Every structure is written in structure tokens, then in C-alpha cells.
Amino acid sequence: MWQHLLDLLSPSVCPGCEARREAGQALLCSRCRDGIRPCWEQAGVLTAVAYEATGARLIRRFKFDARGDALSVLVEALAQRLEQLEFDAVVPIPRHPDRIRSHGSDPAFQLARRLSRRIGRPIWEPLCRIGPGRPQTGLSQPERRKNVDLGFQLSTSESLRAPGDLLLVDDVTTTGATLASAKQLLLDFTGARSVVCAALAATPGGRTAVAAPLAAAAERSSEGRLPLPSRPIAAL
């Protein structure tokens, strides 16, 4: 039923390459599915895809073209990545209102809302941004770290008692510094039991862990370190 509704609501083209698709077919064409490079973890952040090839195109179409079908593919990939974990709430990395006005949308909140529906857990928004923060695009890694030093503060309009185990999400991660800074604030001041950081995609520049083919990921999973999705992302 959901696929049928998506067919009605989303463009009848592949969100990766704009190739025409027929109703009932998977959102991504086979060529784009083959072009997804999984990335399971980077700098302590659980991720779904590498910001390369099809993954990068999907992220750009979601963030800059407001393509809900691209977001659907990415959220499904991330949800599969997280499905062996339990959370009580989804916390989006906040953008400063100036950034939201200039960009015209709030990608991290859109991601959190879609993921919240997918995993059946509520959104909780205890954080707000202290400074405007420049966009990370085009900055070097030292510049990115300095940029996130502007940091976060706790919201004054939200209850600050954490509901338990939190899933903290952002759209794209490179160094993991933004998510790490927000995670520490949540752990220090909200009584959160645990905070897992996740992002749709990881940019290659900050890679400290793995852009793993499925076989290599399965090997690590068998060592008990990383849970695997129940089905490969290529099945999307």
C-alpha cells in the first residue's frame, strides 16, 4: 500500500538519475542502486551511504531540490542500518533560524520527521543553535571544526527531561564534530540514558572508519561490533 501511495505522490522518475519509472517499480533504478556505496560508520556516527555517486546525488536532490522521493530512499537505508537498535525519541541537529530562512528549509528536521514516522518514535527538540553557523559546504576540516564551536544550547521552551535512549540525527557528517558536540550536551544536561549519532551520508573527507562493501560489513558484524541491516541497501 505504501509503495502505491508513493507512486501517487512522488515523481514517476528515479530520484537518482531522473530515468522514467513505472508504477510499482522500486524508487531507484537498478543502475542507481548499483551506484550506492554503503558507509556504515564514520567518526562515531552511524550512516547509511557514502556521499559519493548515487548517494551524493540523492542528498543534493533532497537538500537543494526538496525531493521527497530522494529523502524516502535515504531514510529507508538509514532505518535499515538502525533497525537492531531501540530508541525512545529522535532528536534533530538544530539549524539557526537564519540558516533555515536563507536555505528555505531545515533538512535535519525533515529527516528527523520522516525517520520518526518510519521507526515509530516521537521527535524531541531540546536543542537550539547559539550562533548562526556558516554552511559547512566548501570549508576545510579545521574551518568546519571552528564553525561548529559556535555550538548549541538547551531550549527554554521544551521539557529537558530526556525520554531515555536518544537517536541524534543530521543529514550529512564529515568529522562528526557537530553531532559529538550536541551529544555531549544531551548526556551532560538532560539525563539521557544513551545517545546514538546517525546521519544519512558521510563525506569521504572525514572518513576514519569504513566505506564498506556488504561482505566486509558482514565480517565486522559477526564480530559483534556493528549491526547489519536485515536486507542490503541494494534492495531498496
* CB-count exposure of residue 91 (10 Å: 0-12, 13-18, 19+): buried
- For position 16 contacting Zn ion by CB under 5 A, the verdict is yes
- Nearest residue (CB) to Zn ion, 30 versus 222: 30
Give me the 192-221 binding string for Zn ion, x by CB under 5 A, dash otherwise: ------------------------------
Cα–Cα dist 108/105, whole Å: 9
Minimum distance between the CB of residue 234 and Zn ion, rounded to whole angstroms? Answer: 13
- For position 14 contacting Zn ion by CB under 5 A, the verdict is yes
Beta-bridged to residue 194, according to DSSP, are 165
Contacts with 174 (C-beta within 8 Å, 6 or more apart), sequence order = 43, 136, 141, 144, 202, 203, 205, 206
Backbone torsions φ then ψ of 203, nearest 5 degrees: -80, 145
- For position 32 contacting Zn ion by CB under 5 A, the verdict is yes
Per-residue cell: 62:
533532497
Contact 93, 61 (CB under 8 A): no
Give me the 114-143 binding string for Zn ion, x by CB under 5 A, dash otherwise: ------------------------------
- Nearest residue (CB) to Zn ion, 29 versus 198: 29
- For position 17 contacting Zn ion by CB under 5 A, the verdict is yes
Q: Which stretch binds Zn ion (CB under 5 A): 3-11, 17-25, 179-187, 195-203?
A: 17-25
Q: Which stretch binds Zn ion (CB under 5 A): 25-33, 147-155, 169-177, 187-195?
A: 25-33
- Nearest residue (CB) to Zn ion, 33 versus 121: 33
List C-alpha distances in Å: 94 to 28, 90, 132, 147, 223. 29, 12, 11, 14, 35
Cα–Cα dist 27/150, whole Å: 38
- For position 29 contacting Zn ion by CB under 5 A, the verdict is yes
Binding site for Zn ion (CB under 5 A): 14, 16-17, 19, 29, 32
